[in-house]
Structure 1
Amino acid sequence: MSVSRILLGLLEPSSQHGYVLRRRYDEWFGTSRPLKSAQVYATLNRLDRDGLISLAGVAAGVGPDRRVYAISEAGVVELDRWLDEPDVPEVTASRKVLFAKVLIALSSGRPAEPMLDRQRQAHLARMRELRAQRQAGDLLGQLDADFEMYHLDADLKWIDGAVARLSRLAALVHGGDGAENGLEKNAEKENPR
């Protein structure tokens, strides 16, 4: 997630200081990983350096004075660009690890199904937690929980598909049952003769 672009978006409606930006970020996006104050101020300094925000004033507070920032015209252009540009869909690192675990287990002669069953149970437990959060949460919490639940559901479908293919995958990684042809075709694509 682009903290800098989110801070730009939070500054667009009105000038704010870092404390308010951090509180809003954590309220909307930081449920699993709150933003550290140092990261907020380092990001604000970079945005200021890059001309995307500017110092709008200084507000007196209980402690030290608080610098108030406003988004610049260049910041609005950058925010528009970020909002209009679709994110490249990619598999998250945890999903790539699960794929790798299946292949490594099979290639080493270990059974992959028990590992996939444990992963399925972990996913289902997380989905139960998210359902409870969704029922008790506000609209933002519900939307956030839905996002994660839909991804977990896709993972569960992948796990089911992987379990259904385990014997063929094992043959492939061990070079049997016609798997040589598939591996040879892949090798030819990479190293044409």
Structure 2
Amino acid sequence: MSTSHVLLGLLAERPKHGYELKKEHDERLPGARPLAYGQVYATLQRLERDGFAEVAETQQEGGPERTMYAITDGGRAELARWLDTVEPPAPYVSGSLFARVAVAGARADGYLVRQREAHLARMRELTAEKASGSPARTLAADYALQHLDADLRWIETALSRLKEEDNA
């Protein structure tokens, strides 16, 4: 995920300050790691440096000074380019699930059974979240559920292949 592009997308709606951007990021991308405030402000500085965002105004209403940022025309063009770019499918198998099984080989069956149980437990949690979640939370849960489902299908295939090897 590109934090810069996500923040540009949030700024495309209207000028916002860092605290608001962090809050909206965390609400709209509930399955993602929450942004640290330092990351938000460092990203805003890079966007400003690159000409994609600019300071719109500075506000002080009884508290700390808040700098409002706005997207520039260059930022809108960059956001449009990013939104139109197709995400390439991952060219390599790089997950830790696969790595553990590849290293364990024939000894991986116990691990795979435990991992299957962990996946199923997480799927139950996500399904419960969907019932009472916002549209963004529901979409995030759907995304995670489908990836977990793909992992489960691969786990079953791996268990079957390991069993075939034992019988060979």
For 1:102, give the aligned amino acid.
V
RMSD (Å) for aligned C-alpha atoms: 2.1
| Residue in structure 1 matched with residue 60 of structure 2 by the alignment | 60
Shift of 1:6: 0.5
Shift of 1:167: 4.4
1:123 is the counterpart of 2:122? no
Seen in structure 2, the aligned counterparts of structure 1 residues 92 and 143 have a Cα distance that, compared at 3 Å, is farther
Seen in structure 2, the aligned counterparts of structure 1 residues 159 and 31 have a Cα distance that, compared at 3 Å, is closer
Q: Distance in 2 between matches of 1:169 and 1:82?
A: 45
Q: Distance in 1 between matches of 2:88 and 2:13?
A: 27
Higher relative contact order (CA 8 A, sep 6+): 2
Shift of 1:61: 2.7
| Residue in structure 2 matched with residue 40 of structure 1 by the alignment | 40
| Residue in structure 2 matched with residue 14 of structure 1 by the alignment | 14
Aligned length: 168
| Residue in structure 2 matched with residue 81 of structure 1 by the alignment | 81
Q: Distance in 1 between matches of 2:25 and 2:97?
A: 30
Name the TM-score, length of structure 2 as normaliser: 0.91
Q: Residue 54 of structure 2: SS of its match in structure 1?
A: strand
Name the TM-score, length of structure 1 as normaliser: 0.80
Mapped contact 2:29–2:137 kept (Cα < 8 A)? no
Q: Distance in 2 between matches of 1:36 and 1:30?
A: 14
For 2:37, give the aligned amino acid.
S
| Unmatched segments (≥5 aa) in structure 2 | none
Identity rate, percent: 46
Q: Which has the larger radius of gyration?
A: 1
Shift of 1:92: 9.0
| Residue in structure 2 matched with residue 70 of structure 1 by the alignment | 70
1:104 is the counterpart of 2:100? no
Q: Distance in 2 between matches of 1:169 and 1:31?
A: 37
| Unmatched segments (≥5 aa) in structure 1 | 172-176, 178-193
For 1:90, give the aligned amino acid.
A
